[in-house]
A and B are shown apart, each in its own frame.
Chain A
Amino acid sequence: DIQMTQSPSTLSASVGDRVTITCRASHSISSWLAWYQQKPGKAPKLLIYKASTLESGVPSRFSGSGSGTDFTLTISSLQPDDFATYYCQQYHSYSYTFGLGTKLEIK
């Protein structure tokens, strides 16, 4: 199975900050990577697919980049609604695998 290593596990930031979360795959997954946001008590929500394509309705302050094994999720200017946990996921092949998550906290 392809392992996904996500960092950091916790990130403290302030409203207006620019933040970056990274995800590394154990094998090349081309661009078959998605990013999800999850808030407490809620289902995950797709933010970005194919590494850099913004899902419909997702604010443009979210962006994704990378290919092969190294990927990043960037939030250009944090808003109060963005404090949540973020997961990367590879869908290059079954079994799909997720990163362990990054909890984005208010500093």
Chain B
Amino acid sequence: EVQLLESGGGLVQPGGSLRLSCAASGFTFRTYAMSWVRQAPGKGLEWVSAIRGSGDLTFYADSVKGRFTISRDNSKNTLYLQMNNLRAEDTALYYCAKDNDALDMWGQGTKVTVFS
């Protein structure tokens, strides 16, 4: 069974940092791209970042470029999102998703709250 389990969310002040993790199981992790998607409270979905299966190519939304870094450890079947210089508008539920072009499997999300 394909499973994605996010962790690492929490409360942080503006300018702070967090690292999110996503543990994958049930599929050959290294062969799939992975994406992060977020959803602010009461709002729609916003794609944040993606990384190719080998980790050699990464992509970012303009809203996070230069502040967030996506990475993966294929030996641990784990995806990461390093978030620096966090802003109030980064407050959201962050999902990782298996990126098979369409996002065909999603985790349950980890909540990030940026407050002053």
> Which residues on A are within 8 Å of B, measured CB to CB?
1, 32, 34, 36, 38, 42-46, 49-50, 55, 87, 89, 91, 94-101
Identify the B interface with A (CB < 8 A): 35, 37, 44-47, 50, 59-62, 95, 101-109
B107 CB contacts on chain A under 8 angstroms: 43
> Measured between alpha carbons, how far is A48 from B30 in the docked complex, in Å?
24
A44 touching B106 by the CB < 8 A rule?
Answer: yes
A94 touches B102 (CB 8 A): no
Contact call B106/A96, Cβ cutoff below 8 A: no
Knowing A95-B59, A95-B62, A96-B50 are in contact, say whether A43-B102 is a contact too (CB < 8 A).
no
- Nearest B-chain residue to A94, judged by Cβ: B59
Contact of A43 with B95 in the complex, beta carbons under 8 Å: yes
Q: Can you list 14 A-B contacts (CB < 8 A)?
A: A1-B62, A34-B103, A38-B45, A44-B95, A46-B103, A46-B104, A49-B104, A89-B102, A94-B59, A95-B47, A96-B35, A96-B50, A97-B47, A100-B44
Counting chain B CB atoms within 10 Å of each CB, which of A32, A43, A91, A98 scores highest? A43
| A1-B62, A95-B59, A95-B62 as given contacts; A44 in contact with B104, CB under 8 Å | no
Q: CA of A46 to CA of B103 in the docked complex: distance in angstroms? A: 7
Option from B47, B62, B101, B109 in Cβ contact (under 8 Å) with A49: B101
Instruction: Give, as a whole number of angstroms, the nearest-CB distance from B76 to chain A.
Output: 22
Chain A residue numbers with a CB within 8 Å of B102 are 34, 46, 49-50, 55, 89, 91
Closest CB in chain B relative to A89 CB, distance in Å? 7
